[in-house]
Amino acid sequence: MTRILGIETSCDETAVAVVEDGRTLRSNIIATQTDMHAKYGGVVPEAASRAHLAAMVPVIDSAMSTAGVEWPDLDAVAVTRGPGLAGALLIGVNAAKAVSFARQLPLIAVNHLEGHVYANWLVEKAEPRFPLVCLIVSGGHSDLVLMSDHGQYQRLGRTRDDAAGEAFDKAARMLGLGFPGGPLIQRAAESGNAKRFPIPRAWLRDSYDFSFSGVKTALLRIVEQQNDDIPVADLAAAFQESLVDVLTTKTVKAAREHGAQQIALAGGVAANGPLRHRVQELSPVPVLIPPISLCTDNGAMIAAAAHFHYQAGDFAPLTIDATPSWPIDSPSVRHVAPA
Ligand code: KG4
Ligand code: ZN
């Protein structure tokens, strides 16, 4: 049995978890900074780093005591190396290096997007099978990825401008809904008529890439044309529908074209109810979806991904640095046993 401590600080959650065998959650502690950033309408990087620094040690302590483990009970320490905010990542990376050095535990560097995918392994009874088409949609990324095995990723498509979550957040700001925007748009849309306003879809022909900036601009134009009373529910519904339509259609098409055994949703936007429903409705293969609490950033997904690096003997030296830009299909994300 392996027991891994997973540390995640890429954005605005200081998150630490203990996971057994990449599948069983022993603890999953998250100190969120959402309220602090909400008054600025988005994440303030410098403030995020300072809050991570203050929370890091207490959150590690809490994750270990909740799991009922002591240092000798752990097999490795894993950390999000990137992508994410540089200053925020640095806090987690340095904490993990300190733990690794002081406690003689192997260090495992995990790609944040890979972590999101592995949230699917934390679902009891889920049996992920390859090839797996993964839709990874978060505040910073929108990637469509073909996963042929553990640690093997081929990026089929990516966003050419805004990430899906970023588009939700910006749209929510235009509609005066607050931050983070995704859940607020979803709630507002429940009572809206998605057909009242024509919000376009960016299909980008046969490409698996995404583009959300045009959709955002279309929404802004409509908002500007309204008098004082903005029809928030109808606009939220139309906007959400456009994103769900494009994300679902491309994911299902990729699954068919690449003979996927399953589809996996991952990242904060995978918490979106209509997206979850639509993919399940249209997919020709079983769909894996983490519970909402594991879609947004957490340490458990990092520890889960790390388990498979551990099995491959894929450890990181203490010289690693935070890597703010680190695509999931970069060769250094793959499982490579040290020479
Ligand atoms: O994965 P995540 O927690 O952090 C990043 O790695 O970015 O994703 C956060 C993003 C935010 O943009 C937030 O608005 C979006 O996920 N989100 C949602 C929902 N819940 C969170 N978007 C749409 N619908 C939701 N229910
Ligand atoms: Zn994330």
Any domain includes 124: no
Average pLDDT, the chain: 96
Per the DSSP assignment, residues forming a β-bridge with 210 are 159
Distance 196 CA to ligand 2 centre (A): 32
Any domain includes 339: no
Instruction: Identify the residues whose C-beta falls under 6 Å from ligand 1.
Output: 11, 138-140, 165-166, 168-169, 180-183, 186, 267-269, 271-272, 296-297
Nearest to 109 by CA among 305, 338, 316: 316
Do β-strands 132-137 and 142-149 pair in parallel, antiparallel, or remain unpaired?
Answer: antiparallel
Model confidence pLDDT, tens digit, residues 71-91:
999 999 999 999 999 999 999
Q: Are 201 and 323 within one domain? A: no
Q: Are 21 and 169 within one domain? A: no
Taking the C-alpha atoms of residue 295 and residue 117, their distance in angstroms, rounded to an integer, is 9
Taking the C-alpha atoms of residue 252 and residue 270, their distance in angstroms, rounded to an integer, is 15
User: Measured between alpha carbons, how far is residue 235 from residues 56, 193, 199, 214, 224 in Å?
Assistant: 40, 8, 9, 15, 12
Q: Are 170 and 243 within one domain? A: yes
What is the mean pLDDT of the segment spanning 242-252? 98
Q: Are 257 and 282 within one domain? A: yes
State the pLDDT at residue 337: 53
Q: Are 236 and 157 within one domain? A: yes
What is the mean pLDDT of the segment spanning 187-194? 98
The count of domains in the chain is: 2
Q: Which domain holds residue 149?
A: 129-289
Any domain includes 145: yes
Q: Are 219 and 274 within one domain? A: yes
Pocket test of ligand 1: the residue of 186, 296, 297 to mutate, having most ligand atoms within 8 Å of its CB, is 296
Distance 198 CA to ligand 2 centre (A): 30
Q: Are 269 and 299 within one domain? A: no
State the pLDDT at residue 79: 98
Q: Are 327 and 245 within one domain? A: no
Q: Are 199 and 312 within one domain? A: no
Q: Are 139 and 275 within one domain? A: yes
Any domain includes 27: yes
What CATH number did the domain enclosing 134 receive? 3.30.420.40
What region does 113 belong to: left with phi over 0, alpha with psi -120 to 50, or beta?
alpha
Taking the C-alpha atoms of residue 321 and residue 270, their distance in angstroms, rounded to an integer, is 29
Q: Are 139 and 258 within one domain? A: yes
Taking the C-alpha atoms of residue 159 and residue 288, their distance in angstroms, rounded to an integer, is 22
State the pLDDT at residue 327: 96
In this predicted structure, the answer to whether residue 33 has a pLDDT above a threshold of 50 is yes
Q: Are 233 and 138 within one domain? A: yes
Which ligand is closest in space to the CA of residue 140?
A: 1
The answer to whether the predicted template modeling score (pTM) of the entire model surpasses 0.85 is: yes
Distance 296 CA to ligand 2 centre (A): 6
State the pLDDT at residue 334: 82
Any domain includes 74: yes
